[in-house]
Amino acid sequence: METILILAYTEADGTLGRPSLEALACARALADGISGSRLVVGLVGATVDAAAAAIAGCGAAKVLGVAGAEFGAARYATDAAAAEALARAAQASIVIAAGTSRWSRVMAGVTQRLGGRIDTHATAINSSGGPAVTRWYYRQRMEAVLTRAHRPWVILVDPGCTAAWQGEAGAAQVEMVAVEVPESLRRTQVTGFQAPPADAQTIRPDAALLLVAGAGWTKTQPDGKAHIEDAKKLILGFLRLTQASLGSTKSLVDLSGEGQAVLPFLTHLNQVGQTGSTPRHPKGLSTCCHGEEPHVVGWRFINERRAVNLDPNCGWARGKADVLYVADAFAVMSRVNALVAERRGGS
Ligand SMILES: Cc1cc2nc3c(=O)[nH]c(=O)nc-3n(C[C@H](O)[C@H](O)[C@H](O)COP(=O)(O)OP(=O)(O)OC[C@H]3O[C@@H](n4cnc5c(N)ncnc54)[C@H](O)[C@@H]3O)c2cc1C
């Protein structure tokens, strides 16, 4: 019999974030698919009662909690101690958690303490024929299905791969698990957060649209000049209006290393493709982009893809976009920005 523990931490407002609800949906489906298995919820946070009530309808055999001010913020020592205590209290054979930065940081260590095995970046957990994890290799080009006989088995599920659990709230009884937090575990004090202002943040994993900028934005245009300032205004203007996420090709982010004119708001973190990221957004718009890697790998999980390129023979844009506009991206994006601003009442 499998005991499946879903581990989740509560947010500052006491609720569960979307990645946790997605992991819960995976755990629920796995428990439903393996006869005789049971689902246990393990919550960590400053407070856990509201979160437990919100997911009361998930049908867990029991809800365990580690709560207290010291468990509110992400900190390796306390998160690892809480996760380990919950896994032991649940006697979990399978532990499922969201692959957020907070859990990713601690779960390998927790697995070691439990004598278990861990798989990360799971995109799905299947139950037919026993539990199996689906994940991608070689920059999302090959998909593998993994099974393991070893227990406990810890699985981190990548956010954005499955629908979040939805169900009735209700009354939930939380069985509290005591975790000693000696002084030595509290050496690291969380004093607050420092983050760039929202409009300086161009990577938005939750955005409905991914705008991919290619090196063409910096190239000499038909008038014989490059128009970096215009490119900057058009791209940032579009992001401000739409709150889209910004991806870039390798060539564009590499240009700074070659001493060429660049778009200063782009870093290698924006790069999509084989040696970049493979983000998941419902829609994508690629502009001034020819490369194979951004189109074939970087766009892999974008559902609806459109491209703007001056070159009608751009094979990757033609082959990988659902719609290719053979047009000047400066003119297209200028018009798009004007139309979006008009729709938003000139904002
Ligand atoms: C091992 C390896 C790994 C790699 N990994 C990655 C990766 O992860 N991500 C990645 O991006 N690349 C990667 N590359 C590089 C990749 O092969 C391409 O060289 C690169 O993506 C090309 O970038 P680009 O499309 O921006 O530039 P270009 O190839 O220079 O294309 C620019 C395009 O802009 C168009 N254009 C110019 N002006 C306009 C305009 N006004 N309007 C519309 N269109 C215009 C041009 O027609 C052209 O098609 C990798 C390469 C290797 C060898």
| Ligand 1 atom at minimum distance from 291 CA | 21
- Tell whether ligand 1 has an atom less than 6 A from the beta carbon of residue 221: yes
Token couple for 268: 């290698």
| Ligand 1 atom at minimum distance from 330 CA | 41
The 10 Å Cβ neighbour count of residue 108 is 13
Domain range summary for the chain, segments of one domain joined by +: 3-186, 198-343
Q: How far is the CA of 289 from the centre of ligand 1 (A)?
A: 5
- Tell the burial category of 286 from Cβ atoms under 10 Å away from its Cβ (0-12, 13-18, 19+): buried
Read off the amino acid at residue 346. Answer: G
Beta bridge partners of 43: 8, 65
Q: How far is the CA of 292 from the centre of ligand 1 (A)?
A: 7
Residue with tokens 């005591």: 178
| CATH architecture of the region 3-186 | 3-Layer(aba) Sandwich (3.40)
**pTM of the model as a whole:** 0.75
Look at residues 283, 271, 295, 302 and name the one whose alpha carbon lies nearest to residue 243: 283
Token couple for 84: 């380990």
The backbone torsions φ and ψ at residue 277, rounded to the nearest 5 degrees and listed phi first, read: -100, 170
Pocket test for ligand 1, best of 310, 318, 333, 336 (most atoms within 8 A of CB): 310
Pocket test for ligand 1, best of 138, 228, 250, 308 (most atoms within 8 A of CB): 250
CA-to-CA distance for 276 and 212, rounded, in angstroms?
12
CA-to-CA distance for 64 and 177, rounded, in angstroms?
7
Give the domain 198-343 fold: Rossmann fold (3.40.50)
Is the four-CA dihedral 56, 60, 61, 64 of positive or negative sign? negative
- Tell whether ligand 1 has an atom less than 6 A from the beta carbon of residue 87: no
Domain pair 3-186 / 198-343, same fold: yes
Token couple for 90: 């649940």
| Ligand 1 atom at minimum distance from 308 CA | 43
**188, 192, 194, 199: CA torsion to nearest 10:** 150
- Tell the burial category of 192 from Cβ atoms under 10 Å away from its Cβ (0-12, 13-18, 19+): exposed
**73, 74, 77, 78: CA torsion to nearest 10:** 40
Nearest residue (by CA) to ligand 1, atom 17, is: 291
Look at residues 99, 106, 61 and name the one whose alpha carbon lies nearest to residue 83: 106
Pocket test for ligand 1, best of 309, 314, 330, 335 (most atoms within 8 A of CB): 309
| Ligand 1 atom at minimum distance from 332 CA | 42
Sheet holding 132-137, edge to edge: 124-126, 132-137, 142-146
Q: Are 30 and 21 in contact (CB under 8 A)?
A: no
Q: How far is the CA of 240 from the centre of ligand 1 (A)?
A: 24
Q: pLDDT (tens digit, 0 to 9) for every residue of the chain, 347 residues total?
A: 899 999 999 999 999 999 999 999 999 999 999 999 999 999 999 999 999 999 999 999 999 999 999 999 999 999 999 999 999 999 999 999 999 999 999 999 999 999 999 999 999 999 988 999 999 887 677 899 999 999 999 999 998 889 999 999 999 999 999 998 888 877 888 888 777 665 678 998 888 999 999 999 999 999 999 999 999 999 999 999 999 999 999 999 988 666 676 888 888 899 999 899 999 899 999 999 999 989 988 888 899 999 999 999 998 988 999 999 999 999 999 999 999 999 987 55
- Tell whether ligand 1 has an atom less than 6 A from the beta carbon of residue 314: yes
| Ligand 1 atom at minimum distance from 317 CA | 49
Query: 306-342: per-residue pLDDT in tens?
Result: 999 999 999 898 899 999 999 999 999 999 999 999 9
